[in-house]
Chain A
Amino acid sequence: MIIETSGLRKSFRSRQGKHKKQVEAVRGVDLRVDEGEIFGFLGPNGAGKTTTLRMLATLIVPDGGEATVAGADLLRDPGEVRRRIGYVAQGGSTWDDSTAREELVLQARLYGIGKSVALERAARALAAFQLSEYADRKCKTYSGGQRRRVDIALGIIHEPRVVFLDEPTTGLDPQSRAHMWDEIRRLRSEGMTVFITTHYLEEADALCDRIAIMDNGEVVAEGTPTSLKRSIAHDVITVGLNGAIGEAASVLDSAAFVARLEKLDTGDGLRLFVDDGATAMPQVLRELERNGVTLKSIELHRPSLDDVFLTKTGRSLREK
Chain B
Amino acid sequence: MKFLRDCWLIFARQMQLLLRNPVWVFVGVFQPVMYLLLFAPLLKPALSPLGVTTDAEAYRVFVPGLLVLLAIFGGLFQGFGLIAELRAGVIERSRVTPVSRFALLLGRSLRDVVSLIAQAGIITILALFFDLRVFIGDLLLAYLMLALIALMTSAVSYGVALAVKSEDALAPLMNTVAQPVLLLSGILLPLQFAPGWLENVAKWNPFSWAVDGTRALFAGDVGNDKVWQGLLIVAVLTVLSVWWAAREFARSVR
Contacts and interface: CB of A to CB of B under 8 A. Distances in A.
Interface of A: 57-59, 61, 78-79, 82-83, 85-87, 89, 91-98, 102, 106-107, 109-112, 154, 158
Interface residues of B, number: 23
A109 B12 CA distance: 12
B254 A93 contact: no
A106 B9 contact: yes
B16 interface: yes
Nearest to B21: A97
Contacts of A109: 9
B92 interface: yes
Interface stretch (B82-90, B115-123, B196-204, B219-227): B82-90
A134 B64 CA distance: 47
Contacts of A154: 93
Contacts of A97: 17, 20-21
Nearest to B9: A109
Given A57-B96, A106-B13, A109-B9, A91 B89 contact: yes
Contacts of B93: 89, 93, 107, 154
Interface of B: 2, 6, 9, 13, 16-17, 20-21, 85, 88-90, 92-99, 252-254
Given A57-B96, A58-B254, A82-B98, A94 B90 contact: yes
Contacts of A58: 96, 253-254
B248 to A, nearest CB: 16
Interface-central residue, B20, B21, B94, B96, by most chain A CB under 10 Å: B96
B9 A92 contact: no
A112 B99 CA distance: 8
7 contacts: A79-B98, A85-B96, A93-B93, A95-B88, A98-B13, A102-B13, A107-B93
Interface-central residue, A59, A93, A102, A107, by most chain B CB under 10 Å: A93
Contact of A61 (B2, B96, B254): B254
A94 B253 contact: no
A93 B89 contact: yes
Contacts of B94: 110
A86 to B, nearest CB: 7
A59 B92 contact: yes
B253 A111 contact: no
Contacts of A158: 97
Interface-central residue, B16, B20, B97, by most chain A CB under 10 Å: B97
